[in-house]
Amino acid sequence: MAHELARQGQIDAAIQNYKEAVKINPNLPGLHFELAEALNGSDVQQNEHEAKKEYEAALTASNFDEKSECRLGAIAYDAGDLKRSLSHYSEAVRLQPDDLEANLGMAKVLIEMNETTKAAGFAEHALQIDPTGAEAHFRLSAIYRQEHRIADSKREIEKFQKYRDIKEKLRQIYREMRIRPEGEQSEQGMGRQ
């Protein structure tokens, strides 16, 4: 029920249902992570601290949860704790070497730590996982710029802009598809009949 409520955008109701589920079975795999995600998606500021606790609880329930490691890495990064962020992202990469988010997180943290050579390896691996990944192209552009590889930096920023624009167009199309009732044709489609 909580998952369906979250899918429908009823985050507060989803959070309450997840909390009830935790009371019933706190060891259910993935439950703490789902609750943390709902808390993270909430507009309530105090939920951020609670989300962090739930990600930590998810790791207690399963120390193979690379997604919780990634979220904790992002939280530490946002707090300016690069060492802790690096530790969480490193663990996520160790658990799942092909996790896109973990590789991008490693690149981001290593760029901040001025370790561009190491960062480049993670950004390049992220592009092997998803060649259309706008963020990976952006990170690689930043690395190349720091290394004074201007032509490479320019090439990567162009790819970043291209894939970002494509994904934004797709978001708009999907948004329109959800708004338009099923079976209703667009104005363009109606003009062709």
pLDDT of res. 187: 44
pLDDT of res. 139: 94
Task: Name the one residue in this structure whose structure tokens are 């199309």.
Answer: 173
Residues with pLDDT less than 50, the chain: 186-193
pLDDT of res. 183: 52
Which contacts of 60-64 are long-range, i.e. CB under 8 A and separated by 24 or more positions? 60/32, 61/26, 61/27, 61/29, 61/31, 61/32, 62/29, 64/95
Question: ∠ CA(33), CA(42), CA(87), 5° rounding?
Answer: 45
pLDDT of res. 189: 44
CA distances from 79 to 66, 68, 90 (A): 20, 16, 17
Model pTM score: 0.81
Q: Residue 123 is encoded by which pair of tokens?
A: 């950004």
